[in-house]
Amino acid sequence: MREKLQSLAALQKVDLEIAAFKKSAETYPKQIAELEKELGLVRSAVEVERGKLDDIERQRSTLEQTITEEKDKVKKWEARLTEQRSTREYSALAREIDIAKKSNVTMAEELVELGKSQGTQREMVKAKDAELAARAAALAGKMGELRGKLAEAEAGVRGLEEKRADAAKNVDAALLRRYDTVRKKRMPAMVPLAPPNTCTGCRMNVPPQLYNTLKTNLSFDTCPSCMRIIHAPEAIEAPAK
């Protein structure tokens, strides 16, 4: 029986190492995701500024087209001035031409202001692009390091999984099934009793008679509280001389 428990203890040792590796590896994807989120925020800030620049450029293009159309309209109206037969018609058209010219002057001033805003916004986009490039370079190094650690941890788990497969071959089949059932819910799945009769898994007491039986027979049983496999320390460890 001691041999069976020792084989299971060896298997559990590997399982605990695997669990530790996996727990360590769990933090890397989260850290990578946080860095990617941070980079995404910087990238979004750049896109916002680009959007503003695009909006200014659209406004300029629309205004330039409107000014061109209004100038053409003024030219046509000026050509028609001499064709007006009455003073009233002449005055009305002349007034429309004057209003259109003043509107063109106002739009030309708006165009100049938009040009200034466009220049300012281009510098803003340039600065944000530089900030993004610098941040991306800094975060790329960190993410590369984390991905390397993640790959290392995953490789470690794969190596231990192979070691586990070998260790499992040495465990009694019935005991292994029982162990696997428990370990899916809690680890460690097998624990020694601490004298006089305490389960070291859940810290609850077991009947004193059960402890004495396990110590005498060097066998195993189930903790009534946590359902772990329990045994007396002597069942695995040789008594101190």
181 and 209 within one domain: yes
The string of pLDDT tens digits covering residues 7-26 is: 999 999 999 999 988 888 88
SS3 state of residue 206: coil
Query: Is residue 59 located within the same domain as residue 125?
Result: yes
- Confidence (pTM): 0.58
Tokens 């053409």 belong to which residue? 72
pLDDT > 50? residue 68? yes
Distance between alpha carbon 44 and the CA centroid of its chain, in Å? 16
Given this model, what pLDDT does residue 238 score?
62
Q: Please, what is the average pLDDT of the chain?
A: 91
In a domain, 240, yes or no: no
Are residue 43 and residue 160 in the same domain, yes or no?
A: yes
Range of the domain at 155: 15-169
Asked if residue 98 belongs to a domain, the reply is yes
pLDDT score of 241 more than 60: no
Mean pLDDT calculated for residue range 124-140: 91
Please say whether the beta carbons of 199 and 182 come within 8 A.
no
CA 199-237-18 angle, 5° bins: 70
Q: What is the pLDDT of residue 154?
A: 87
Are both 90 and 66 inside the same structural domain? yes
Q: Take residue 139 and report the two structure tokens written for it.
A: 């975060």
For position 19, which CATH number holds? 1.10.287.1490
Helix (H) or strand (E) holding 190: strand 190-194
For residues 205 and 94, membership in a common domain is answered with no
The number of C-alpha atoms within 13 Å of 192 and in the hemisphere containing its C-beta is 15
Cβ atoms of residues 135 and 37 within 8 Å:
no
| Alpha-carbon span 15 to 189, nearest angstrom | 10
Asked if 133 and 225 sit in the same domain, the reply is no
